[in-house]
Each structure stands twice: as C-alpha cells, then as structure tokens.
Amino acid sequence: MIYKKCIGSDQSKTAAQEQVEGTQKIVVFQQNGSGEKKVEGIRRYGNSRFVLELVSIDETLPVVIDDARKYIPKDIRADLVLDFFKHPDLSQDLAVVCRDKKIPVVASGKKMRVKGTLTPPT
C-alpha cells in the first residue's frame, strides 16, 4: 500500500503563499515507517517552518525493482526530499527523479552517486 499524507499544513495554501510565509516543503519517502522518528522530530522542533508530505510504502517489495514508477510519483514538488527507503532500487530512482527536477535529496547512509543527493553517514 502506498499512501500520501500532508502533515501540519493547510492544504488550501498555494506554493507561493507557503514561500511568502517562509515555510519550506519537505517530502519524506519512507518504507514500513522507517522515517517516522525523523518526521516527529521535524514536527516537534521545526516550529511550523516546514510543510511535510509523507509518502509511505508499506507493502512487501520484490528483490529487484526494474521500474519504480509504480512507487515514486512523477509530480514531486518540494524544496527538499528525505529518503528513508530501505530498497536500494527505490532510492536510486528517487534520486534520479529529484535530480531531473533539481530537488535536493538527503539519503543518510546510502551509497549512491547521483548529483544533488547528499549521503551523510548515519
């Protein structure tokens, strides 16, 4: 099951209104709840500076994913993407999609070399 959820935002706001108010949109991609603690920290300590969108995959995945379009939306709109996917094929394809859209990605602990993706050690 893949689901998207907006957290801590008035969904009627436009992107321009969000920028004027100084908020940044962060889209968090997670698998089986792998980013929940980080999302909670952003909500708790972000002081309403961020609009969060959560994209979760909670189903069993095949060992190899040749085409990640089923799992990664085309219309990603964000100032920053956080990658908490466990599946390396999803992380790689997400990084490529975000590179093409010029959206920076933070994918802690991952070993990939896609321009625009930061991979700090965990």
pLDDT digits (tens, 9 = 90+) for 107-119: 988 777 788 887 8
User: What single string gives the DSSP state of each residue in the chain?
Assistant: -EEEEEESS-TT--HHHHHHTT-EEEEEEEETTTTHHHHHHHHHHSTT-EEEEEEEE-S---S--S-GGGTS-S----SEEEEE-SSHHHHHHHHHHHHHTT--EE-TT-----TTEE----
Tell me the per-residue pLDDT of 67-120, one tens digit each, with 9 for 90 and over: 898 899 988 999 999 999 999 999 999 999 999 999 999 998 877 778 888 788
**pTM exceeds 0.85 for this model:** no
Top CATH class, 2-118: alpha beta
Name the residue ranges covered by the structural domains of the chain.
Answer: 2-118
